[in-house]
């Protein structure tokens, strides 16, 4: 689009302003450009990162899940860099991860209430950077006893990817 085309669209919608304000088309173009640059700068910093929901291919929602299923919500980069291949529960419960742009609650998954903080939103194991939901809380704790998180799985993950846990750093980008 050339500036004359952009300006002509604006002039046709606001003929009075175009007649009374000199260089109206240039002002509109500059305002549009500035707003786009602001949004690109804001979203490009990682302040507002793309969030995803991660489920297993065999359990995309509670209705289509047979047995125990899980769902994580977090920044997409965090899930890719810090969870897949790094966290025991992710590897055993979500071996074939699928990313969706919706909430775990909307898929029917439930918040766990028996963690040491009383909630899995955010999940205390992952430094508050991810939230976990399950299809069935009783089945989850039967398969994954709370003591194993405190004694083994969480410390192992925190040691394996310390920058993910302690500072929220993903590929050198600081999220604190």
pTM of full prediction above 0.75: no
Find the helix or strand (DSSP H, E) in which 9 lies.
helix 3-13
pLDDT digits (tens, 9 = 90+) for 99-129: 999 999 999 999 999 887 888 887 777 878 8
pLDDT digits (tens, 9 = 90+) for 53-84: 999 999 999 999 999 999 999 989 889 988 89
Strands 130-134 and 110-111 come out as: antiparallel
Give the Cα separation of 73 and 115 in Å (integer): 17
């Amino acid at each position: 689009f050339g500036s004359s085309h952009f300006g002509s669209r604006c002039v046709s919608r606001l003929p009075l302003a175009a007649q009374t304000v000199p260089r109206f088309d240039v002002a509109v173009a500059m305002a549009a450009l500035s707003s786009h640059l602001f949004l690109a700068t804001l979203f490009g910093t990682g302040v507002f990162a793309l969030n995803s929901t991660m489920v297993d291919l065999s359990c995309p929602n509670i209705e289509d899940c047979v047995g125990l299923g899980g769902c994580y919500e977090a920044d997409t980069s965090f899930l890719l860099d810090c969870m897949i291949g790094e966290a025991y529960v992710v590897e055993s419960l979500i071996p074939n991860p699928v990313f969706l742009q919706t909430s775990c609650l909307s898929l029917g998954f439930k918040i766990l209430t028996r963690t040491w903080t009383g909630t899995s939103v955010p999940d205390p194991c992952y430094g508050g950077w991810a939230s976990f939901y399950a299809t069935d809380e009783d089945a989850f704790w039967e398969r994954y006893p709370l003591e194993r998180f405190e004694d083994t799985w969480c410390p192992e993950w925190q040691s394996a990817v310390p920058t993910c846990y302690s500072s929220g750093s993903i590929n050198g980008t600081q999220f604190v």
